[in-house]
Structure formats: structure tokens, C-alpha cells
Amino acid sequence: MRISVITNWAYGITLALTALSGASFIMSSRSAVEERSAVAEHLALDTLVEELALGAEVRGDDARLYVMRGGDRHLQAFHADEETERRLEAAAAKLSSQGLSSGEAKALSEIGKDSEELDKIEVAAIQAFQGGDKSAAQDLVFGSEHERLQKALLASVAHFRDLIAARTTSQLEAARSRSDWWSLLAKIMLGLTGALFLSVLYFILRRRVAMPLMRMTGIVGRLAKQDYSVEVPVDRRRDEIGEMNEAIQIFRANGIERDRLDAERRADQHTKDLILQLMHRVQACRSQEELAGVVVRFGPQIFPDIAGSLYMLNESKTSLTRAGLWLEPRHSAAAFPATSCWGLRRGRPHMSRENEHDVPCQHLDGTAVTALCVPLTAQGEIIGLLYLEERGEEALELGGSRLYLELIAENLGLAIANLQMQEKLTALANRDPLTGLFNRRYLDETLQQRAQGHPSEPLACLMIDIDHFKRFNDEFGHDAGDMVMQYVGQILRETVGPVGNPYRFGGEEFTALLPGLGEQEGVELAETLRQKISSAALSHAGRLLGTVSVSVGVAASPEGGSVDTLVTRADAALLKAKSEGRDCTIVASRIRRPVA
């Protein structure tokens, strides 16, 4: 029941009890008034009758004194008492008309008759005395009749007083009983009113209002501080406190939902920031290896608890090779044919699930796993793959992140395509198209960077020239000469590649830079290279070209000179080798410098 209904009922009952209590007090007061009226009536009647009896006795005494002494004053007193008696009789008659009982009225009537009879005898005695018959007058007032009437009068007065006393006593007892009853009823009403008031104070104000409010005060205080971990007790009361408790629960639920939405918004904003950082850094990468490292660093931040890999498509568009991974994906091969992925076949993201009817990708190991393959495309061509798989108990549920994933894939595809295009352009700008070796321009850039960055580290340089190369062009044609150039370039790549970089210097001349090697180590590598080149006889178009020999000049830095003069010194050693018969290796430090 609602508190307002309870308080209204309590208020109404309190008013009713108060009214009943007031009415009881009023009735008790009226009973007390009736009690006092009965007492007053009893006193008035008793006094009146007493005065009648006393007046009759006094008049009798005055009459006796008059007939015995004959004084006028006794006669005057007799007449005065007579007048008083008349007034008392008139008052008695008036009282008898106000509700005396029949017995009381009869007793009062007897008193009146006796008084009149006495008056008659006494008047007769006075008249006889005045007529001179003093003896007759005395016989009348002192006779037996007069005495009998006086006794009868006193007996009637006593009887009347007894009747009055009995009636007034009964009225007094009834009035007192009613007064006591109404007083008791008023006290009961007051007690009930007090008990109701105390009950309202305890059960309503304390149990149903004060205690719940005190309990809610702490809860509301914590909710005001946005501490939504506080538990709001369930209160199923259908009153104002229950409604307040329900409102607090709704407020807490709204606060929790608002915090959840804020957390989602912050997480979403954090994801957007990470994606933006990823895009900025991907666009600034200078190689595909560097791009793969950036993706590996940002992948677990953007997609926490989800393992993944970045795959690159080879130039022939036939297979993919893993370029980077994070959180150790275990269900996809490190390299696989492009036809093994349904995402690459369809050109759109493909989800492989255990319990779905769609086909899984063939590059998965066949175990129960949920994986997502997102093709990386640029200008309509597929250039790679972004692979994601669930890790442990963390389900692969992207939901709203699908849009972010597509955005990442689009930017990665463009970035990889740009890097591949840059690598192709760099290769065209830095490599010799015939031999595939770095060209003279790239050699100059490398030496310049070396001179600026690490001029004190050991560096050996080989200058290589094919002996009698013009003979191959003249006798067998330029195609044969090109084949000889490619053969020498291939031997250079195989021999020098593990320790340095080979370059085509120009014409039939080649250069090799060997970082970390000294002059003697350069000589040993030059001899190995020279022997490999001359170890096989070449043929072209069915014609035997013979063996190819080379002359090599070796120079080192910094013990032999600065990096800036490294190529010049190696070239001088090469010229010395050619002048001494070719097919040999000459060290620049052993060339005698002309005396100035």
C-alpha cells in the first residue's frame, strides 16, 4: 500500500478517534453536570423541607408564647413566620411541578396538609386568646391534637427527605456511572490515538521511510560519484519508496549503459586512432619488409586477442609468402598457392568456420578454427592477403570492425602496390638491364653514403674487366657478347653476393664492394672469382666461344686510402693487371707510384 494512502487513513482514523475522544469528554462533562444538578436538587429540596418543618415549629412556638404571655411581638413574629411559610409552600409547589415522583409529591402534599392543620389550630388559639378565652387558647396549642399534628408533620418531612435522598442518590449514582464510563471511553480513544500515532511514527516514518531513505542515501551518494558497481537492493513495495528505488535502479542501469557506450566510443575512437597511425606509418614505409613490421606492431593493438598474418603475392601471382605475423597464428601455412584461398579466388573477404556450411580455405590445416581471409587489392589487382584467426577462447567476431578491416585492407593494398612500384622503378633506375647487377649510378650513391656514414670501417673494392671482350662481339656477334656479360654477372652474383654487392661499372667492366673485408681478403675473393669465371667453356648458337678470363684490380679502405679514392685506386690496379698480361689480380697497394 502506498505511504500516502496509509498516512491518509491514519490521519482520518486519528481525526475520528480524536472526535470520539472529544465527544466522550463532552458526555463525561455532561454527566458530571447532571451529577452536580442532582446534588443541588437534593440540597434544595432537603433545605426547603427542613425550613418548612422548622418554620412550622417556630410558628408553633410563637403561637404558644403569645397565648401564654400575650405580647404583640410574639404575634408579629407569628404573622411574619406565616408569610415565610407561605413563600416556602409556594416554592415547594413550584418544585413539585418540576418533576417530583408520585411518592415525593404525596409526601410533600402531606407536609402541606399538616402545616395547614397546625396553622388552623394556632390561628384558632390566637383568636381565642384575643377573645379573652386564654384557657381555651392554651388548650388548643398545648393539646394532644396540636402535638399529634406536629409529630405527623415531622414524620412527613422525614419521609419526604428519605424519598428525596433515595431519588437523588440514584440519580447521582447514575450520573457518576455515566461520567465514569464516558471518561473511560475518552481515555481509551486517547490511548488508541496515541498508539496509532506511535505506530505511524515507527512503522511509517521509521520502517517504511527513514530506514529505506538512510539505506538509499549511501547508494545515491555512490551513484552521484558515478560508482555504478554499487548494488541496488530489489524492493517490490508498491509505494513511493518502491518507486524511488525503481527510479534509482533505472538511473543505475542508465549509468551503466552510458558507461558502456562511453567505453565503446572510447574503444572505437582508440581503434580509429590506431588505424590512422597505421595508415600514416604504412604510407611512410620504404620497403615491404618495413611495412610488414609496422602491420605486425599495430595488428594486435587494433584487433586484440586475434592472431593474424600478412601475406605477399609473388610477381607471377601464383603463390603467397608470409611477410609478418602477430600472436602466433597456427592454422595457416607460411606459404601456399594463391588458388588455396577462397578469399583470393572470390576477390572478397571469406570466413572459414567449423559449424557453417561454407567451404573452408585449403591453406588451413583442417582443424576446427574460425579464420578470416581478406584480399589486399590495388587498382583491381590482388597483391596480398590479410589473414586473421581466433586465438584460444576469444571468438573471431568483428561485427562493426568489419568496416575498419576493409579500410585497413584497402590502404595496405595501396601501400604495398606503391612500394612494389617504387621497388620496380628503383630496380630500373639502379640495375643494369642486361646483367641484373647494380649500375654505375647506384655504385656512386653507395660510395657516397659510405664516405658520409662509415668512413672508418673496412671496405674492399674489386675492379673487374673481361679480357679481349671485343673478340666475342667481332667474331660471334653482339648476342654472344651479351651472353658473356650475363655469364660473368651471374658468377659475380653467386660469388660476391653473400659478402657484398656486385655492380656493372660500364662496358665490359664490373665492380664489387666488400664491406668488412680487408685488402688480403679481397685478393682471395678476386682469385676465387677469376678461377670460377675461367673454369667453364662457353658456347652460343652451336658455336664454341671458349673460356672467359678476367683481370682484377683490388683496393682497400681506409688502410690504403679514403673511400673517395677507392674506385680510382682499384681501377689503377686493374690497368696494371691488364698491362702485365691480363688474367691476373693486382693489388693497388703494391703499385709503385711514380717519383715526383
- List, for residues 244-258, the tens digit of each pLDDT value: 777 777 877 887 888
Full 3-state SS string of 115-138 = HHHHHHHHHHHHHHHHCCCHHHHH
Q: Are residues 398 and 441 in the same domain?
A: no
Q: What is the CATH number of the domain that holds 110?
A: 1.20.120
**Pairwise CA distance, residues 487 & 467, whole Å:** 14
Sequence length of the chain is 596
Q: Is the pLDDT of residue 238 over 50?
A: yes
Most confident stretch, 123-132, 191-200, 382-391: 382-391
Q: Are residues 397 and 493 in the same domain?
A: no
Q: What is the DSSP string of 303-335?
A: STTEEEEEEEE-TTSSEEEEEEEES---SB-SE
Instruction: Look at residue 596 in the predicted model and tell me its pLDDT.
Output: 39
Q: Are residues 13 and 116 in the same domain?
A: yes
For residue 323, what are the contacts with CB-CB under 8 A and spacing of at least 6? 288, 289, 292, 310, 311, 312, 384
Q: Is the pLDDT of residue 214 over 80?
A: no
Q: Which residue, of 392, 427, 462, is where some domain finishes? A: 427
- Three-state DSSP state, 486: helix
Decide if 302 is inside a domain: yes
Q: How many domains does the chain have?
A: 3
Distances (CA, A) of 26 to 19, 30, 33, 41: 10, 6, 10, 22
**Pairwise CA distance, residues 71 & 454, whole Å:** 176
40 and 48 Cβ atoms separated by less than 8 Å = no
Decide if 239 is inside a domain: no
- List, for residues 285-342, the tens digit of each pLDDT value: 988 899 999 999 998 888 888 889 999 998 888 999 999 999 888 889 899 999 999 9
**Pairwise CA distance, residues 275 & 407, whole Å:** 9
Q: Are residues 356 and 495 in the same domain?
A: no
Q: What is the mean pLDDT of residues 429-440?
A: 89
Q: Are residues 79 and 146 in the same domain?
A: yes
- List, for residues 272-299, the tens digit of each pLDDT value: 898 899 899 988 998 889 999 999 999 8
Task: State the cell numbers at 282.
Answer: 604504412
501 and 440 Cβ atoms separated by less than 8 Å = no
Which of 122, 121, 110, 98 has its CA nearest to residue 157? 110
Q: Is the pLDDT of residue 540 over 90?
A: no
For residue 127, what are the contacts with CB-CB under 8 A and spacing of at least 6? none
Distances (CA, A) of 453 to 141, 445, 449, 450, 518: 174, 12, 6, 5, 18
Instruction: Provide the CB-side half-sphere exposure for 283 (13 A, CA).
Output: 8
Which of 335, 409, 417, 323 has its CA nearest to residue 372? 409
pTM above 0.85, yes or no: no
Q: Which residue, of 196, 213, 231, is where some domain finishes? A: 196
Longest dimension (CA), the chain: 221
Most confident stretch, 1-15, 60-74, 415-429, 488-502: 488-502
Q: What is the mean pLDDT of residues 410-426?
A: 85
Task: State the cell numbers at 475.
Answer: 667474331
- List, for residues 101-114, the tens digit of each pLDDT value: 777 777 777 777 77
Instruction: Look at residue 531 in the predicted model and tell me its pLDDT.
Output: 94
Q: Which of 215-224, 261-270, 345-354, 371-380 has the lowest mean pLDDT?
A: 215-224
Pick the residue with more confidence: 232 or 552?
Answer: 552
Average pLDDT, the chain: 81
Instruction: Provide the CB-side half-sphere exposure for 257 (13 A, CA).
Output: 6
CA angle 302–305–311, rounded 5-degree value: 65
Q: Are residues 491 and 423 in the same domain?
A: no
Q: Which residue, of 167, 196, 225, is where some domain finishes? A: 196
Pairing of the two strands 585-587 and 550-557: parallel
- List, for residues 347-372, the tens digit of each pLDDT value: 888 888 766 667 889 998 877 778 88
Percent of the chain with pLDDT over 70: 84
Q: Are residues 453 and 421 in the same domain?
A: no
Containing structural domain, residue 294: 285-427
Q: Are residues 510 and 549 in the same domain?
A: yes
